[in-house]
Structure 1
Amino acid sequence: MKRFLMISLILLVVLSISFGEDVKLRKGTWTHYVPYVTTPPKVDGDVSVSEYFLSPRYYVGLKGDVDYIPENWKGPDDLSVVYYMVWDKNYLYIGAIVKDDSIVQLATGENIWQGDHLELWFDTDLQGDFEDKANNKDDFQFGISPGDFDLLEPEVWVWTPPVLAEDVKKVQLAAKKIDGGYTLEFAIPWTLLKVKPEPNLIMGFAFSPSDTDTPGKLDQEMMMSSAPGSSPNWGNPTFWGNLILVDPLEKF
């Protein structure tokens, strides 16, 4: 009953959100509504619905989501992701359940894009540079690697803008191998994104899983995205979607 009530509150909050005429949102793409939580998820790789029950269930795994080398995608078991997002005053939390029938990751550091990973883009000043078609210092590109579940540990990398390695290490990360794929659970500090979190904060956002299936190969063989078209248009914020922080209890 509690879960049903809280999900109903989320829907009411989403329906009641109104912005001024000067507020801009990306059209024709996804909007992620991210609810505030007082009890954050434990970042341990166990992506429990009970910890993320306030979050909508987001899914990339349809044919139309594949926007880089689509001929290499063989269906949802090849690559698809269910994911959840919540926030508190310190972190943005994301729990992802990845279906991947062949986990291949041989790279570390800046080269993790050549193996299985998630790519996330954030435009932290969406209103200030809405029309810009090139990324700049307020646009963050994260890579989240599960490792290889043998020798390589899970890893976070930030390709752009330049950030201190010690700040990237503050990202909490856990991964687990599961039947037919793996999970990734991570918490990004707001201090790393250099934004002050508050209800109705709007950012540009894209969630893009990447796949490599050939054992022993370093290559990006396919990619899909919550913002289809963004993968082949690297770093162009106008292709990304919206991310809006909400507080389900703020108006009640």
Structure 2
Amino acid sequence: MAMRTRLLMMTLLASALAACTLPSFTSPTPFTFPTPNLTHTAIFAATSTKTTPTLPPPETTAAETTITATGPAVTPAVTATGPTSTPLATATTGALNSRPNGSPVTAAFLSAPPVIDGDLSEWSTTAYVANETVPLAGDNWTGASDLSATYYIGWDVNYLYLAVSRTDDTFVQISWGRYMYRGDDIEIQLDTGLAGDYYTTYLSSDDYQIGLSPGNFGSIDSEAYRWYPRNLEAWVTSVVIEAVLTNGGYDLEAKIPWSVFGVTPASGSRFGFALSLSDNDLVGVSTWQSMVSNVNTRRTAAPTTWGTLILD
């Protein structure tokens, strides 16, 4: 009996060992923890290097943009000579010696200076007229009797001389200084570097605008004011002005030192030039209503729209 029991136990043990090697039976795979997904863990993981972003180039503002004028080659300028060390004017030659706007104005050389007293009877040089409206300034102009002028111009080594007989049906001037244009003033513009910036359509440091006012023949004195160049804007006390009220406007004489324009004159010198008249017909009101000029293309800030002045 004991022997039979022992044999049975051995048979069962052999069967169990054989079952472990059968093809249909596989051993369990050991469990392994998964590797972390770096797409998710990158926000926690420390980076080995730091990258600095590349900044875009700085923007250029309109004020910083340089405008380059184009045009044919500029004929070398002839330097005018004079007796002082004042910076010299440019006497231009060749194709760039005259603006195409209006007719050139010639300033006569005066061997004897005129008396600045508002009496124009001593002027016998060429008479020019300013009776053309300028862009955006003619809506309130009714004709030559409303606003126009005959003028004379001369020069010597010290001064530019101006004599203006203004026709104006209503004289108004209650403004002064930089606001004199809100009344019945006279304005001249001079481009002292005509050839050098012939194609430049904006104002530069050699472009001048000066206003001459007779005052109001009472409480406001006659005066001269320089608007441009902007860095030189101020009253110009070295300008001598005398004016006389007439039945149909006023007569005015002025002598302007060449130093006001920073030039020394010479015969043959040429400049960009315009003579204009502002008008206000509203008595007791400071306002600007219209303008006439010797050049109908004239715009304040565009020297290419001015005319030409020649020193005889």
SS at match of 2:179: helix
Contact 2:227–2:233 (Cα < 8 Å) also in 1: no
Partner of 1:179: 247
Tell me the CA shift for residue 202 of structure 1. 0.3
SS at match of 1:113: helix
Partner of 2:100: 27
Partner of 2:129: 59
SS at match of 2:178: helix
Partner of 2:295: 227
Q: Aligned-pair RMSD on alpha carbons? A: 1.6
SS at match of 2:180: helix
Partner of 2:216: 148
The one of the two structures with greater contact order (alpha-carbon pairs below 8 A, sep at least 6) is 1
Structure 2: 5+ residue runs without aligned partners?
Answer: 1-91
Structure 1 segment 31-180 matched on structure 2, within 5 A: 31-48=104-121, 50=122, 52-53=123-124, 55-61=125-131, 65-67=132-134, 68-161=136-229, 162-163=231-232, 165=234, 168-180=236-248
2:302 counterpart of 1:236? yes
Q: Give CA deviations for 1:116-150 in whole Å, capped at 9, x if unaligned.
A: 10111000000111010111111001111111112
Partner of 2:311: 245
Identity, % of aligned pairs? 35
* Larger strand fraction of residues: 1
Tell me the CA shift for residue 20 of structure 1. 4.5
Paired AA for residue 47 in structure 1: L
TM-score, structure 2 length as denominator?
A: 0.67
Identify if the C-alpha distance between structure 1 residues 72 and 164 changes in structure 2 by more than 3 Å, giving closer, same or farther: closer
Structure 1: 5+ residue runs without aligned partners?
Answer: 1-18, 247-252
Tell me the CA shift for residue 66 of structure 1. 1.1
Inter-partner Cα distance in structure 1 for 2:245 and 2:255? 19
Partner of 1:201: 269
Tell me the CA shift for residue 206 of structure 1. 0.4
TM-score, structure 1 length as denominator?
A: 0.83
The alignment of Structure 1 onto Structure 2 pairs a total of residues equal to 219
Paired AA for residue 35 in structure 1: A
Tell me the CA shift for residue 234 of structure 1. 2.3
Q: Give CA deviations for 1:102-125 in whole Å, capped at 9, x if unaligned.
A: 111111111111111011100000
Inter-partner Cα distance in structure 2 for 1:24 and 1:38? 25
Q: Give CA deviations for 1:71-130 in whole Å, capped at 9, x if unaligned.
A: 311222211101000111100000000011111111111111111101110000001110
Inter-partner Cα distance in structure 1 for 2:93 and 2:139? 43
Inter-partner Cα distance in structure 1 for 2:169 and 2:93? 46
Contact 2:101–2:295 (Cα < 8 Å) also in 1: no
Inter-partner Cα distance in structure 2 for 1:59 and 1:20? 26
SS at match of 1:218: coil
Contact 2:214–2:241 (Cα < 8 Å) also in 1: no
Inter-partner Cα distance in structure 2 for 1:149 and 1:228? 30
Q: Give CA deviations for 1:212-234 in whole Å, capped at 9, x if unaligned.
A: 0011111110001111121xx32
Tell me the CA shift for residue 30 of structure 1. 2.4
SS at match of 2:304: helix
Tell me the CA shift for residue 47 of structure 1. 1.3
Partner of 1:6: none
Pair member with larger Rg: 2
